[in-house]
Structures are given as C-alpha cells and as structure tokens.
Amino acid sequence: MSKSINKTQSEILLSKMAENPDLAAGFSKQGKDRQEALWKETAADLNSAGPPTKTVSEWKRVWNDQKRYVRKKLTFNAEQIRGTGGGPNLHHKLSTSEETIVAITGMTNSVEGLEGIVSHGFQPLSTTESELDAETIVNKSPQQTPKRNPFLKDAPSSSKRKGTSVILEEEIEVQKEILKRIRRIEDNTRALNKNFTILNNLKEEELKELKNQTIENKRHNIEIENLRKREIKAKLEKTRRLIEIEEMKLSMMKR
C-alpha cells in the first residue's frame, strides 16, 4: 500500500470506503453533490489523523492509485493462471488491506480469470516482493536499476478505459463547476451594473431638481428684492410730498 499516508489514515480510508461502496467505486446513486460531501467529510477525518494532510483531490488520487495498484496485481495473477494452468507459484499474494479493497470494489468481477487464482491457493514469491508497491518503485534513485516487477505492466485495455472514463467524468464535473461560478460572476456583474445605472439616474434627477430649485429660489429672491425697492421708492415719494406740503404751508403763513 501507499507509503505516503500513515497506518491510521490507511485504516480510516478503508473504513470510509467500506461504509460507502458507491464512493469507493467512483460514482454515487445519491448524486455528485452527495459524493463530493462524502469526500470532504472523508478528507477531514483523514487529515485529523495526519500528517500528512491532503486536499480532497489528493485523497481521491491516493484511493485511485491504491485501486489501480491492486488491479495490476490481480491482472498479473490472472494472466499467470491462464498461462501456466496452475503450475509454478508465480502469483503475488494480496495483503490484508489489498484484499479489503478487492472486497469493497468487487474488483474480482472486472478482472478476467481471478476465480482460478482463488481456487489454486498460490503462495507469494517473497515477503519483500509481496509488500512492494508502485510508489516505492517510482521514488527510487535514478542511479538504481531495479528489475521491473511483472505486475506493474499495463493493465488490460478495459481497465484503462474504465480509469480514463473516471478521469473524464471528474474533469467534466470540474468544468461544470467552473462554468457555474463564471455564470454566477456574470449575474453579479449584471446586477451591479443595473444598480449603478439606477444610482446614476437618481443622481441626474436629483441634480436636475436641485438646479430647478436653485433657479426658482433665485427668481423668487429677485422678485422680493424688486418689491422692497418699490416699497422704499413709494415711501420716499410719500415723504417728498409731505415735505412739499409743509413747505407750502410755511410759505402761506409768511404771506
């Protein structure tokens, strides 16, 4: 099994997959949203038992790598049965964790010839070789030239197609999610533009009304000023006439 996670995390991962066979198989009858929610919950439990800690996508990759590694073992064993007719002990025994993965995913039904492996009851070549995993081989130093394990050769084309199909489905889901977010951003942008337009229209109307009020106030002030001038002028004219009358009276008295 993978050396990139600890023993507790491996046990948690197998337990979660056993509880959710659809999730383990890469699909869910309850829908993609429920599947993603289960993966988030699983990732949280796994990270709580870390280090290491990983994202949901990275934990999916760990699980898919483990399934792919076990499938290669099963495929190799099936080919040995078909080729030897139950002769030499060339097959690789599965570990307890690997047998659990087979039971959870029902992998024996998708690899041709596995029934024969169970009935012949072969023993492993060696403890070291049985426990060797794909990640150990990938991480070896470039200066080393280890022998290539036979069970790491390409799986049958049907397995490749299934793996490719799962990857394509995940990519499609990612693209759909991105498209949804883009559409939400576009909707928000349109809403903001609409609000800005409304605000601009309100400001224009307010400015127009304020301008009209200013003009009206100015006209009103001018009218009041003119009225005051006329009143003052009338008072001055009245005062002038009174003075003239008084002067006339004085003049008559002197005569």
Instruction: Note the pLDDT of residue 111.
Output: 60
- Return mean pLDDT, the chain: 76
159 and 110 Cβ atoms separated by less than 8 Å: yes
What are 134-180's pLDDT values in tens digits? 333 333 334 444 444 444 444 445 555 556 777 888 888 888 889 88
28 and 38 Cβ atoms separated by less than 8 Å: yes
Q: What are phi and psi of 52, to 5 degrees?
A: -85, 165
Q: Please state the rounded mean pLDDT for residues 200-222.
A: 86
Structure-token match 């599947």, residue found: 35
Measured between alpha carbons, how far is 174 from 92 in angstroms, rounded to an integer? 37
What are 91-118's pLDDT values in tens digits? 778 888 888 998 888 877 656 544 444 3
Q: Give the torsion through C-alpha atoms of 241, 246, 247, 252, to 10 deg.
A: 130
Stretch among 149-153, 202-206, 249-253 having the lowest mean pLDDT: 149-153
Instruction: Note the pLDDT of residue 9.
Output: 93
pTM above 0.85, yes or no: no
What are 28-74's pLDDT values in tens digits? 677 788 888 989 999 999 999 988 999 999 999 999 999 999 999 88
More confident residue, 87 or 167: 167
What are 4-28's pLDDT values in tens digits? 789 999 999 999 999 888 888 877 6
Structural domain boundaries in the chain: 7-155
Instruction: Note the pLDDT of residue 27.
Output: 72
Instruction: Note the pLDDT of residue 64.
Output: 92
Instruction: Note the pLDDT of residue 127.
Output: 32
Instruction: Note the pLDDT of residue 109.
Output: 62
What are 175-201's pLDDT values in tens digits? 888 988 998 999 999 999 988 888 888
Measured between alpha carbons, how far is 166 from 205 in angstroms, rounded to an integer? 59
